[in-house]
Amino acid sequence: MHLDNYTLGSYTPGAPYWKQVLWHFLGSPLVESNWLPFSTLKVWVLRSFGASIGQKVRIKPGVRVKFPWRLTVGDFVWIGEDTWIDNLAPVVIESHVCLSQGVYLCTGNHDWYHPDFKLIPAAIHIQESSWIAAKSVIGPGVTVGKGAVLALGGVTGRFLEPMTIYAGNPAQPIKSRVQEKVEDVLHISPADEFIHVRRIEDLGVGIGEEVMGNG
């Protein structure tokens, strides 16, 4: 490949240049900052730049979003510290999803056969009541099925089946989430977050610790 001839192909950022600059120098630092601890303010900033975000969404410090105008978030979503939403293509996060600390959502790929290393973006869709545990990576074009879990440090570039727990790199199914054991967990109140974690750990899966404080 010849990176001096690198091409974006038909890709465009999806917003005028002035909006990109304003987001880079003003909006993004506010969302990522540690000194702005309140989720409501971070949500307001993201919405101001075109994100669609539901109610009671928690956004912790250090969260990075590439392009807010390509982000859709449902209700009661938790986004943990240092999560990186690299949304060159649209990212949809449905309601009651937990993205733990350091999760990376990567929507960009490249054509390694093309001499110009052409960019190939593809959307990510995380369906409701899923848990992406800390330091996990989701690749371009992936859909995470309803109620799926990607365990600590897991990496996937393919579809994750609903109600299934995955672990490893590449992620492999290791356990099914039995409906009668977890139906209450899937609709738990945010106030019961520690009970949420405890019940999932009781299923016998070493997913890793999730600590989400009030914000």
Query: Could you report the per-residue pLDDT of 72-120, keeping only the tens digit for each?
Result: 999 999 999 999 999 999 999 999 999 999 999 999 988 787 777 888 8
Q: 56 lies in a domain? A: yes
pLDDT digits (tens, 9 = 90+) for 152-163: 999 999 999 999
Q: 197 lies in a domain? A: no
Query: Among 59-63, 177-181, 203-207, whose mean pLDDT is lowest?
Result: 203-207
Q: How many domains does the chain have?
A: 1
Q: How far is CA 14 from the centre of its chain?
A: 20
Chain position carrying tokens 């199914």: 173
Q: Using pLDDT thresholds of 50, 70 and 90, give the confidence band for residue 186.
A: low
Q: 193 lies in a domain? A: no
Residue 165: enclosing H or E segment and its boundaries? Answer: strand 164-167
Query: Among 76-85, 137-146, 172-181, whose mean pLDDT is lowest?
Result: 172-181
Query: Among 89-103, 139-153, 197-211, whose mean pLDDT is lowest?
Result: 197-211
Write the CATH number for 16: 2.160.10.10
Is residue 192 pLDDT above 50, yes or no?
Answer: yes
**pLDDT at res. 181:** 54
Q: Mean pLDDT, the chain, as a whole number?
A: 86
In angstroms, the CA 14 to CA 162 distance is 31
Comparing 79 with 197, the larger pLDDT belongs to 79
Q: 195 lies in a domain? A: no
Q: 118 lies in a domain? A: yes
**pLDDT at res. 119:** 86
Partners of 84 in the beta sheet? 64, 104
Comparing 188 with 141, the larger pLDDT belongs to 141
**pLDDT at res. 79:** 98
Q: 215 lies in a domain? A: no
Q: 196 lies in a domain? A: no
Upstream peptide bond of 170 is cis (omega within 30 degrees of 0): yes
Is residue 200 pLDDT above 60, yes or no?
Answer: no
Quickly count: other Cβ atoms within 10 Å of residue 112's Cβ: 9
Which domain does 23 fall in, by range? 3-176
Q: 72 lies in a domain? A: yes
Residue 168 backbone class (left: φ over 0; alpha: ψ -120 to 50; beta: rest): left
Residue 127 and residue 146 in contact, taking contact as beta carbons nearer than 8 Å:
yes
